Amino acid sequence: MLQIPKLTEQISPKTMKVWRIRHFLLASLKLIILISLLYFSHKFYWEKWIRLSLYIILGSIIIKAIYKLTIYPILLHKTWRFQINKHVIQTKHGFFHTQHTIIPMAHVINVQTYDGPILRKCGLVTMTIKTLTSSIHIPGLLKTEAVYIRKRILERIPVHKQWKIDDSHG
């Protein structure tokens, strides 16, 4: 029976900065929209229940933004682990709801990296490893680390049969 090793690899600590920037931009957009609605609700004398609802939503957005900018990135970074060996690729993340994914190396068909403007600024990439039916993402890898991991994965993917075209049916 195949023994699955303990996950030891960790994503870059720079990933917390990326998550904070993304959450800040998203929260800022939500606040701009909500403050605009509040302005119009006072200017055009909307119903009081609408203004009260907008203030409740504003409070919840502020509380969620504080959580997503302070505690969330730290907890997520502490729980994000991955491991790649000659038999399997596995990831595990989450602190309330843990997701543990294991993919046999023989099922890997594609390895991709993505770097958007925020990731590029921090020197990071997100790696996506695909099979025929699913994919896993490993965020916050240094570019050099991602190149090394991709090389390790591609060297271990077995080459099965070559595709053949069957012209016997006409």
What is the C-alpha separation between 50 and 55, in angstroms, rounded? 9
Please name the helix (run of DSSP H) or strand (run of DSSP E) that holds residue 23, with its range, or none: helix 14-43
This prediction has a pTM of 0.83
With beta carbons less than 8 A apart as the criterion, state whether 164 and 150 touch. Answer: no
Burial of 17 (0-12, 13-18, 19+ CB in 10 A): middle
Domain boundaries, the chain: 14-77, 83-156
Give the pLDDT confidence score for residue 87 in this predicted structure. 86
Give the pLDDT confidence score for residue 75 in this predicted structure. 94
Task: Say which CATH topology domain 83-156 has.
Answer: PH-domain like (2.30.29)
Tens place of pLDDT for every residue, the chain, 170 residues?
A: 566 667 889 999 999 999 999 999 999 999 999 999 999 999 999 999 999 999 999 999 999 999 999 999 999 999 999 998 888 899 999 988 999 999 998 899 999 999 999 999 999 999 999 999 999 999 999 999 999 999 888 887 665 544 444 444 44
Find the radius of gyration of the CA atoms of the chain: 23
State the CB neighbour count (10 A cutoff) for residue 67. Answer: 12
With beta carbons less than 8 A apart as the criterion, state whether 89 and 138 touch. Answer: no
pLDDT in tens, 45-93: 999 999 999 999 999 999 999 999 999 999 999 999 999 888 889 999 9
